[in-house]
Amino acid sequence: MSVDPARVRVLILDVDGVLTDGRLYYGARGEALKVFHVRDGAGLKALAAAGVTLAVISGRRSAMTRQRCRELGIRHVLQGVSDKAAALARLCARLRVGPAECACIGDDTPDVALMRLVGLSFAVADAHDAARTAADAVTRLPGGLGAVREVCDQLLAARQGGESA
């Protein structure tokens, strides 16, 4: 299901492998850090300023994700989600939008059901084959290294009447 990128009202992001490069760093006390790309953050802020609601649906729970989302002004943060399709339904009800008005960025098999339900789906360049197959478009850049900014720029360009995804 692919819709006009200019009609996207909500962008849903996975975290590990999308906002990060997918690597998990562990120290003696557990998960130590995640690395986020500053350009992805700038793109997300620009997209939010253009009126697109941002949301995160992640299978993992992380204080670092919560902190980064707070910095970016992402208010809809669902972590520890095992059923992303059900989380999408709850999010859509809360925001009073239909799944066709949503776009998402994913990278692996837990994202596939979500990718198939939204109006426009993206896989990062280094995504699992199942996610790449489910996606309407695949970024040139890998997760955590500017892929999110690439999608934001495409959505912004579409809203301004430029090139679409």
Averaged pLDDT for residues 11-27: 93
Percentage of the chain beyond pLDDT 90 is 85
For residue 155, give the 3-state DSSP assignment: helix
Q: Is residue 84 part of a domain?
A: yes
Tokens 């997760």 appear where? 143
pTM of structure: 0.93
**What is Dmax (Cα atoms) for the chain?**
51
**Which CATH number belongs to the domain containing residue 25 in this structure?**
3.40.50.1000
Range of the domain at 113: 5-159
What backbone torsions phi and psi does residue 113 show, to the nearest 5 degrees? -60, -45
Q: Is residue 130 part of a domain?
A: yes
For residue 52, give the 3-state DSSP assignment: coil
Q: Is residue 138 part of a domain?
A: yes
Q: Is residue 164 part of a domain?
A: no
pLDDT tens digits, one per residue of 54-98? 999 999 999 999 999 999 999 999 999 999 999 999 999 999 999
Query: Structural domain tally of the chain?
Result: 1
pLDDT tens digits, one per residue of 113-125? 999 999 999 999 9
Q: Is residue 17 part of a domain?
A: yes
Which of 63, 93, 94 has its CA nearest to residue 79? 63
Q: Is residue 165 part of a domain?
A: no
Tokens 């692996």 appear where? 108
Query: CA-CA distance, 121 to 123, in Å (whole number)?
Result: 7
pLDDT of residue 2: 73
Q: How, if at all, do strands 25-27 and 137-138 pair? A: unpaired
Question: What value, to the nearest 5°, has the Cα angle with vertex 47 and ends 41 and 48?
Answer: 90
Q: Is residue 19 part of a domain?
A: yes
H/E element, 105: strand 102-106
Which of 128, 129, 151 has its CA nearest to residue 140? 151
Q: Is residue 77 part of a domain?
A: yes
